[in-house]
């Protein structure tokens, strides 16, 4: 009885592996001058805490290849890059950049980096002080609304 259940479970797990989503392949050559160049301290925080989902430099964890976790992980990477890719910064026009700076101010205290992600990525955790630093940096780039 248990043996059968075990076999069925393994079988279902193997079948599940057929369900995969693809992240679009990064371009072959990535022009380093396109990347956002923030002050060193900010830059290193963004690289540690945001680049897994907001750049092409994703460090994929092992479970990122195993369905069903991979579906979750890959969709975060895909949507994260679409919303904001720090390595595509040079291609963004001013209004997109403004949107991102505002988005950072809005999200840095609660929703970014994604709380779920932080439970498994100890290193990406930001202290309140670091969050304040990132917020202040983003704020300093927001232009006054023109009326
Ligand atoms: C685990 C993946 C992940 C990490 C890590 C992550 N993000 Fe995101 N981010 C996303 C996803 C997915 C979206 C798009 C969907 C959404 O808005 O929730 C997003 C959207 C955003 C947006 C646009 C949101 C808006 O409302 O304008 C900003 C700005 C942002 N992230 C900033 C950051 C910053 C800054 C960091 C690092 C401190 C970070 N993110 C880390 C996954 C991530």
Residue nearest to atom 11 of ligand 1 (CA): 80
pLDDT of residue 144: 79
Q: For residue 138, give the ligand 1 atom closest to its CA.
A: 35
Q: Closest ligand 1 atom, CA of 113?
A: 41
Residue of 41, 42, 53, 103 to test ligand 1 pocket, by largest number of atoms within 8 Å of CB: 53
Burial 39-76 (b: 16+ CB within 10 A, else e): eeebeebbbbbbbbbbbbebeeeeebeebeebeebbeb
Q: Which protein residue has the closest C-alpha to ligand 1 atom 17?
A: 83
Residues 13-65: tens digit of each pLDDT = 999 999 999 999 999 999 999 999 999 999 999 999 999 999 999 999 999 99
pLDDT one-digit tens code per residue, 89-137: 999 999 999 999 999 999 999 999 999 999 999 999 999 999 999 999 9
In 3D space, the residue among 121, 136, 134, 139 whose CA is nearest the CA of residue 61 turns out to be 121
Residue 146 has pLDDT above 80, yes or no: no
């Amino acid at each position: 009885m248990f043996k059968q259940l075990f076999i069925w479970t393994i079988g279902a797990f193997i079948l599940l592996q057929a369900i995969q989503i693809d992240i679009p392949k990064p371009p072959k050559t990535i022009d380093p001058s396109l990347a956002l160049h923030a002050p060193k301290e900010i830059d290193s925080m963004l690289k540690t805490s945001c680049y897994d989902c907001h750049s092409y430099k994703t460090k994929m964890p092992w479970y990122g290849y195993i369905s069903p976790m991979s579906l979750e992980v890959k969709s975060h990477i895909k949507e994260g890059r679409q919303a904001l890719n720090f390595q595509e910064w040079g291609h963004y026009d001013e209004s997109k950049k403004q949107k991102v700076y505002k988005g950072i101010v809005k999200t840095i205290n609660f929703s970014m980096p994604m709380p779920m992600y932080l439970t498994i990525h100890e290193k990406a955790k930001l202290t309140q002080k670091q969050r304040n630093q990132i917020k202040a940096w983003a704020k300093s780039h927001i232009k006054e609304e023109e009326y």
